[in-house]
Amino acid sequence: MKIFSNFAPDICTASMEKRWLVCMILLPFFLACSHQERMDDENAVYYWRTEWRLDSLERDFIEQYQIHKVYCRYFDVVTDEGATELKPIATIVFVDTVPQDLEIIPTVYITEACLHQSLTGLATKIVERVVKMNETNDVHNVKEIQIDCDYTLRSRQGYYEFLAEVREEARKHAMGLSTTIRLHQLSMPVPPVDYGVLMIYNTGDPQKYMERNPILDLRDVEPYLRYLGSYQLKLAAAYPVFSWQRVFYNMNLVHEVSADEILKVKAAVENERDELRHSILLYHLDHDNINRYDKKTFEAFYRH
Amino acid sequence: MTRKHLKRFIAISMMTAVSTTAFPCVGYYTHNYYLFHVYNSNEFSNRMDEITLDNWKSYLGSDEDLYYFDADKIRDFANSKGDALMVSYVNNLERYLDCASKVISDAWDYPSKEDLAQRNRIINEVRTYAEGKLTSRLRSQHALLFMRCNMLQGKHAENVTFWEQTGVKLIESVYKDMMKNIYAGALLKTNHPDEAGRLFAEMGDWSSLMTQYYKKRSYQAIRQEYQHNANSAVLPFLLQDFVNNSQEAVDEDGYGKMFVRTITKLEAQQMILLAGEVVKEGKSRVPALWMSAKAWLEYMYGNRQQALTDIDEAVKMEGTDWMKNNARVLRFYISAAQQPINDQFDNYVAGELAWLKSMNDEDGFYWRANERIVHQVLVDKYAQNNRVETSLALLNIIDPHYEYVEALDTIDVKSVESYLGYFNRTLSSPLDRYLKNLLSTHNSDLPDTHTPELELYDLIGTKYMRLCQWPEAMEWLKKVPVSFYNNAGYAAYAANRSYKVEPWIKRQWLKDSIAYSGEPQHMTSNPKMDFVKEINSMEDRLKKLKGKNHQQACYDLAVMYAQANFTGDCWYLMRNGKSWADEVRVNEADLNAKAVRLLRSAAETTDPQLKERALFALSYIYLYPGEEWFTYNWGASGGQPRRTVKPETSQYKAFAALAEFEANNKNVSSYVSRCDEYIQFCKYFKK
């Protein structure tokens, strides 16, 4: 702190004394602000289906790995075909009741195309819809909303302004706000939210499946590691446990990520940013995904 | 020459905006449309909508078409006639539709618990009302309304019973068809999938069928269905889905597709055997369906001779009109791919193209088939048989804007000249006559500034420019009026840039508002002609010059070549568009190489100022794209990128020569001393 080295006690004037006092008072405040409050240790999952219905395996999974938070996709927001109006689609239907001891984070996915339309009033519409969905479907344990969007350099500014509005609206209902952060978004200024969930998947080019696993490959993550340390937003980490099947050049390709690769990436990102070992999410809760890995592997994914 | 400029160059990828000869930056078209299409894909729900609207129109006694259920209009009319039953029906139908739309729609206004209770109450009221009118004059309409309410409330078993005891006895009508559709859905919900599937297929409800059979689309499922009922209505749907999924498996279109069931080669071969057996057994009333499926699978998996035999059989077999027409389309593709070109073949192709064009094509199948056959089979086949003109004309009738233009742009200039003659001479082949006739009709719609003749004159002139054959270029370009260039997609660039500016010293950036305005320009002379005349005269003069004058002329000429090159600011002289993926093509001279040779000659001068300019110009990266003096490496553990110097590259050598020259130069020019790339280089060069 260069300012202090300039003080010489023998020439200290009254005004200087005041400055010194002010600095001493403010210093702890600055230090506190510069040190981000860290995420709590917690296990969570995304729920990315159109019907809320848990089978026994999924319920056991939640219990076994002490999952208290479920980031549940409520609906998507898209541009109306051929029009500029934005509309909700694929709204989740609550077939089963939601266990009250489970904290639900309503998650709303917004396509990037929406950000190129007028967003006036959208924040209110989204928050009010989420609140009403909670009321109608007896989802009571809700403390925050998450917005998911693959924003780009071009759309970032508009998206951040929109997030600020959502945050304001959410506050009226005593809710916080988080957003997803894709790796390429780490190089941008941070969004105005309480924290981000770093999406550590869909990192590769699906066309180059021979070279890299498009879901996750450490080599695709590496170029972004350098941004992690200095990213000025609290972050949770989300890892992929899903598979992706497709036909490509007369081949039936099933992409799934080996546990080793996930754990390698986990170690690499946690090495760059210790905070990422605290709040850990898996994408996404599903019977097949649970059967994909064994108990020890899931324990390793959720190791803090 | 700055890093910023380098980045900006990489980012540039421009389309010519309004030119009829616009190129895609990096285009890739597969034309791999499905060719197996054996039923009308007009959806059940669409057909029902059309008929009900016609019924309302008829009730209103109106000549005007209705495009939606206009409750107010119908109610007013019914009131005026004193038709109380119709008024009450419309009122209740409206209440039902309002509830149903809320249930299925994703409105911003999400329902509250009270809303849901209210909705349920309304549906109960409408249901009770409809049940009370089942013996009225409008009994079919009310029966449908009753079933709809049950459906919305999940009372599927009740709907099954109602249909079987009441609905089935009603007279044939669109309302009965809709009831039957609800009944099929109820059967599915009450665990009677086979019967439901058959009903959906009979009704042409492909959306419901796809939902129902999404995970059951396989050889096994088709075999079981056939064994269950050789003439099951589900079979065409399942077979079409299977064959087209097989196409996905053998496709090589470069794009992974999702939601497609994987068909292995083994499974496809099992299907081929089954299709053959079905035809032999003779139980199917539509053998054309099975035989054409067999033929197409054989073809896709490489057994092309067998495919030809099979499809020749298939076109003679029994089937629905759709199946027979589909067999004919497949025969066209399979035989066109294998038969030799001769008069008979030309006749056949002309006949089949005309037939495809004549077909009623509501769902676009015949258009897609035409596209695929022309692109995948005929274009290459005729080109390889030295019928380039026919090949181009085929492309032109299908897609006059992209692949046709790209093909014209890449073939040699003599072929384009010959193609121009195609339109001016008598053609003997019936196929050529058919194509020429079709094109005359197409071209009559084009604007005067961009007639096909002018396009070809410009293209031929430009192709000669690309070969640096300036006198030949002038012969063609002089036929093109300046209005052509003022309306070209690149007109804004042509009007605002100069090929005399040294690109290594000054880049001619255009504001987006100018570059993308799309407005016609107001040039007063043909920009290509101006360039050609000037460069031609400079080359003539160069031959006569010696010493310092010769070296200066070399430098000036190098500026023109560098500007006209695809990496130059005046790329529009030789190309219609610009992309980061550009490169020197066949049938083109390497203008950058010419510029480099001329600059090296200029650099031999004893004039220090010219020498400095020439050496600096030689370090311009766009003279050797991809030959940068360094690369960035990303460390395995992240962190800052590391610069790796590449002394073997052209730019490194040019910078080194410049640095050595400047080491003894007391008056370093500011364009050198302020060049950030050169400054960076010097840091490493000294190391």
The reported pLDDT for the residue numbered B469 is 98
Q: Which tokens sit at B372?
A: 């695929």
Evaluate whether B42 touches B362 at the Cβ level (below 8 Å): yes
ipTM: 0.82
User: Tokens 């992240």, residue?
Assistant: B638
Q: What is the DSSP string of B311-366?
A: HHHHTTS---HHHHHHHHHHHHHHHHHHSPPSHHHHHHHHHHHHHHHHS--TTSHH
**What are residue A172's DSSP bridge partners?**
none
Interface of B with A (CB under 8 A): 106-113, 115-116, 248-252, 254, 256-258, 260, 262, 264, 634, 636-640
Yes or no, beta carbons of A135 and B256 under 8 Å apart: no
CA distances from B340 to B311, B356, B473 (A): 18, 21, 38
Yes or no, beta carbons of B106 and A91 under 8 Å apart: yes
State which residue of chain B sits closest to A223, comparing Cα positions. Answer: B638
Going from the N-terminus, what domains does chain A have, and what CATH number goes with each?
Answer: 1-32 (no CATH), 42-301 (3.20.20.80)
Amino acid at B243: V
Amino acid at A132: K
Mutation to test the B interface, candidates A249, A251, A272, most B Cβ within 10 Å: A249
Closest to B88 in 3D by CA, of B137, B22, B158: B137
What pLDDT digit, counting tens, does each position of A74-94 carry?
A: 999 998 766 678 999 989 988
Q: Name every chain B residue with its beta carbon within 8 A of the beta carbon of A252.
A: 249, 262, 264
Q: Name every chain B residue with its beta carbon within 8 A of the beta carbon of A246.
A: 256-258, 260
State which residue of chain A sits closest to B259, comparing Cα positions. Answer: A246
Beta-strand relationship, A235-240 and A243-248: unpaired
How far is residue B387's CA from residue B412's CA, in Å, rounded to a whole number?
14
Mean of the pLDDT values across residues A245-261? Answer: 67
Name the minimum distance, in Å, from the CA of A137 to any CA of chain B. 8
Mean of the pLDDT values across residues B608-616? Answer: 97
Across B361-512, where does the E strand assignment appear?
none
Closest to B141 in 3D by CA, of B107, B171, B185: B171
Residue B363 pLDDT > 90: no
Residue B266 pLDDT > 50: yes
Q: Which tokens sit at B602?
A: 């200029």
Q: What is the DSSP string of B207-232?
A: HHHHHHHTT--SHHHHHHHHHH-TT-
Q: Name every chain B residue with its beta carbon within 8 A of the beta carbon of A73.
A: none
Residue B76 pLDDT > 90: yes
What confidence category does residue A244 fall into, taking pLDDT thresholds of 50, 70 and 90? confident
The reported pLDDT for the residue numbered A51 is 82
Residues 193-222 of A with CB under 8 A from B: 206-207, 209, 222
Evaluate whether B146 touches B179 at the Cβ level (below 8 Å): no
The reported pLDDT for the residue numbered A19 is 44
What confidence category does residue B641 fall into, taking pLDDT thresholds of 50, 70 and 90? low
- A171 at interface of B, judged by CB pairs closer than 8 A: no
Q: Is the peptide bond before A284 cis (omega within 30 degrees of 0)?
A: yes
Evaluate whether A256 touches A243 at the Cβ level (below 8 Å): yes
How far is residue B472's CA from residue B461's CA, in Å, rounded to a whole number?
7
Name the minimum distance, in Å, from the CA of B339 to any CA of chain A. 27
Mean of the pLDDT values across residues B662-670? Answer: 94
Residue B1 pLDDT > 50: no
The reported pLDDT for the residue numbered A197 is 97
Mutation to test the A interface, candidates B26, B110, B214, B300, most A Cβ within 10 Å: B110
The reported pLDDT for the residue numbered A16 is 40
What pLDDT digit, counting tens, does each position of A18-34 carry?
A: 444 443 444 333 333 33
Beta-strand relationship, A67-79 and A86-89: antiparallel
Yes or no, beta carbons of A226 and B636 under 8 Å apart: no
How far is residue B310's CA from residue B313's CA, in Å, rounded to a whole number?
5
The reported pLDDT for the residue numbered B224 is 87
Closest to A41 in 3D by CA, of A301, A292, A288, A277: A277
